[in-house]
Chain A
Amino acid sequence: MFTAIRRIIITAIRSLWRNRWLSLAAVLMMILTLFTISFFAGLLVVTNKTTESLREKVDISVYFSESTPKEQIFSLQNILLTRSDIKSVEYVSKEQALEIWRERNKDNEKIRNVISESDNPLPRSLDIKTEKPENLENIYNFLTKSDYQNQFKEISYRKNKDLIDKLVRITYFVKLVGWIVSALFAIVSILIVYNTIRLALFSRSSEIEIMRLVGASDLYVQGPFLIEGISYGIMASIVTSVIFYLAFKVTFERSVGYLGVNIDPSSLGLNLWFILAGQLVVSLVLGAFSSILAVKKYIR
């Protein structure tokens, strides 16, 4: 069996070399396909993550006057928590507000020291996260019309909704275009690999004829072409992985800076490996599928 595999691989490499320019075209086309698929997959990951992290941000903060009793704040918190459109309501005490202040201004000592524990003007607040950004307005209206409204110092209402909506639309668009373009490229690369294998078959037709005459098993006759197709896939996925890894790193870092959102790099790292593995699988399937198609058609 080992001898057979060795001989089949040697034959495949020889055939690949003999048709090296055609092979190159096939590999390039596969690279293009893989790159397209990976590009859209990567874009999807970035847009999805960005949307997610935007959603994670606090949607509404309600700041209370100094005179408001703690119990009132907590009772409002309880009321809000019963609403189905609210994900979480977090109480921020004066001390916690100070900590956040200090953290935010850690690089600027002057500003940081303007406020101290003994003299803390920072108000207490409730940080509200909504289930869906669409509900923001409802909650805002509810708060401004509630019995508690005269206790509020201020309601800050982040207008993330529009941005999130835009991102959701972009994600959807990326998905749609990604599928269409990827499918087109996949079809074209199947056709090109198929054609390359077909030509390799023709250029070796006398050899194949002799093989059959002397009693070569199908494995020996068809195996090399299958290996050839698969090796296009392997070569393409290696090249694409390297290019993609570098490109992804650069563009990702830039886009994170541009969008100004904090994305956990470890979760994306996992996705990157997933994409690279996916590339290998996709290219193997493409290569094997096209060569099987050609072999089944042209070798009886």
Chain B
Amino acid sequence: MVKDIDIREEKQKEPAVSPTPTPAKIEKETNQNVISNDSVIEFRNVGKSYPGGVNALIDLTFSIKMGEFLSLVGPSGAGKSTLIKLLICEEKPTSGSIYVAGRDITRLKKKELPFYRRKVGVIFQDFKLLPKKTVFENVAFALEVSDIPDSEIQQKVPQIVELVGLTSRIKAFTEELSGGEKQRVSIARALVHNPKLLIADEPTGNLDPVTTWEIIDLLFKINQQGTIVMLATHDKEVVDTLNRRVVTVKEGRLVSDQAKGKYVL
């Protein structure tokens, strides 16, 4: 009954989707349209405008490879949030297409959306937890609404909670937790379906510096286990210290894409 979109499988079925592969260029600083053979996620000439003539994104083209840790930076209103909304299919672009594992997600049917979303974990600045539920229940919630049997939930949730280091707080209500702990819960919930992509939308925006690093460290660990992490942030220190790929958007356009980047604006 459960139909899954497995990103790896589909990638094998449809390998070369992209034209003009220029792998050499990726390592250099570039803001050219680079699409490589092993990209899992591809934005192709994506544009998004809202009614009233606001252009949130303009002709955006870039790709993400398997196992990447990518920082998405830019000032407020640059289009980061719009980009994320498009990637989790909350909105559809007005032009262009977004390929995930060879599949154009802008053409997903309404019925396919839930299955796609289970393969993409998202965490937010405001955590989006259910305050009247415990840590366990919050994580279990994601499984409950996805037709997972109780026995599997009982087995899986403690594992994930352990991964984010909250085992001792598993029975606590989320409203009793600190900001860092809340974010860990939301990470646990995002990971519970074993997503191939974890999107973090300003995950440390509400956190103090120490806690921020704990969360970034956790995201790093998750990335090391093979999950693509896309970190949208405007925390300069975090981005500079990470020394990973940085994609910068400004006024809806991609202005720089550095393989080992700094926060430049």
Contact = CB atoms under 8 A, between A and B. Distances in A.
B156 to A, nearest CB: 13
Most buried by A among B129, B145, B146, B192: B145
Given A214-B118, A215-B114, A220 B128 contact: no
A217 B141 contact: no
Interface string A201-217: 00000110111111111
A1 B141 CA distance: 17
A217 B149 contact: no
The SS class assigned to the B binding surface is loop
Contacts of B144: 7, 220
Contacts of B142: 214-215
A148 B251 CA distance: 110
B257 to A, nearest CB: 27
A137 interface: no
A210 B141 contact: yes
Contact of B145 (A1, A206, A209, A211): A211
Most buried by A among B114, B115, B116: B114
A214 B147 contact: no
B150 A3 contact: yes
Contacts of B110: 218
A57 B61 CA distance: 90
B150 A214 contact: no
Contacts of B116: 215
Nearest to A217: B114
A197 B192 CA distance: 31
The range of chain A's interface size is 10 to 19
Contacts of A218: 110-111, 114
A72 to B, nearest CB: 85
B193 A214 contact: yes
Interface string B104-144: 00000011011111100010000011100000000001101
A256 interface: no
A220 B88 CA distance: 19
B189 interface: yes
B146 A215 contact: yes
A213 B145 CA distance: 11
A218 B114 CA distance: 8
Contacts of B129: 210
Contacts of B149: 3
Contacts of B147: 3-4, 217, 220
